[in-house]
Amino acid sequence: MGSAFTAIRASLFTIAGERVVKRLRGQLFESLMGQEIGFFDENRTGEIVSRLADDCGVLQNTVTTNISMVLRQAVQLVGSLCIIMAISWRLTLVMLAVVPVLAVGAVQYGKFVKGISKKVQDAVAEANSTAEEAIANVRTVRSFCGEDKENSAYSAGLDRGYVLAKRRGLAYGAF
């Protein structure tokens, strides 16, 4: 029975996430097409495309996975509190006394991870921008024998993103 509800929940949240991301990508693209030409002079094409593709994907993960987990855990919390209250109301009060301390820690942790996640997205966008520009100008890159330079630049961008993502992974594990 639990597996059936899990499957239904996962399906519904995945479909909802896909719908939200589709709408967001459409609105973002429409907004991009309405920007002044100067906007495109100031922002690299690869970074803009990366934001359109990758950042929307991060939002999709938030909608499909994180919100689903929060709702599931909230239902489990309410059920657990009812059971503990039925067993011992004193124990329930002791347990609830530590909740504010844990909540403050969770909020601080969330801010920390959010900051790292933004840096990861920025690093990936920069690496994608480097790749997009190199590919779009491959004839120029080849004519000046710049393949190694472009490979190094792209690899350095990926390395920056990986170091930050690894740090985020360690933070996830620590919590």
Percent of the chain, pLDDT > 70?
98
For 87-110, the pLDDT digits (tens) are: 999 989 988 899 899 989 989 988
Cβ(125)–Cβ(50) under 8 Å? Answer: yes
3-state helix, strand, coil in the chain (%, to 5): 95, 0, 5
When pLDDT is averaged across residues 18-23 and rounded to a whole number, the result is: 79
Q: How far apart are CA 10 and CA 21, in angstroms?
A: 16
Nearest by Cα to 118 from 22, 23, 37, 54: 54
Of 60 and 72, the structure prediction assigns the larger pLDDT to 72
For 109-144, the pLDDT digits (tens) are: 889 988 998 898 888 888 888 888 888 888 898 899
Predicted pLDDT of residue 86: 94
Predicted pLDDT of residue 79: 92
Q: Which residues of 12-42 are buried (b: 16+ CB within 10 A; e: fewer)?
A: ebeeebeebbeebbeeeeeeeeeeeeeeeee
Q: What are φ and ψ of residue 137, in 5° steps?
A: -115, 35
Least confident among 2-6, 132-136, 156-160, 161-165? 2-6
Predicted pLDDT of residue 172: 77
Predicted pLDDT of residue 87: 94
Predicted pLDDT of residue 82: 92
Predicted pLDDT of residue 46: 76
Predicted pLDDT of residue 68: 75
H/E segment holding residue 129: helix 99-136
When pLDDT is averaged across residues 28-43 and rounded to a whole number, the result is: 85
Domain boundaries, the chain: 1-87, 98-175
Predicted pLDDT of residue 6: 76
Mean confidence (pLDDT) of the chain: 84
Nearest by Cα to 6 from 72, 76, 77, 75: 72
For 37-54, the pLDDT digits (tens) are: 888 888 888 778 877 777
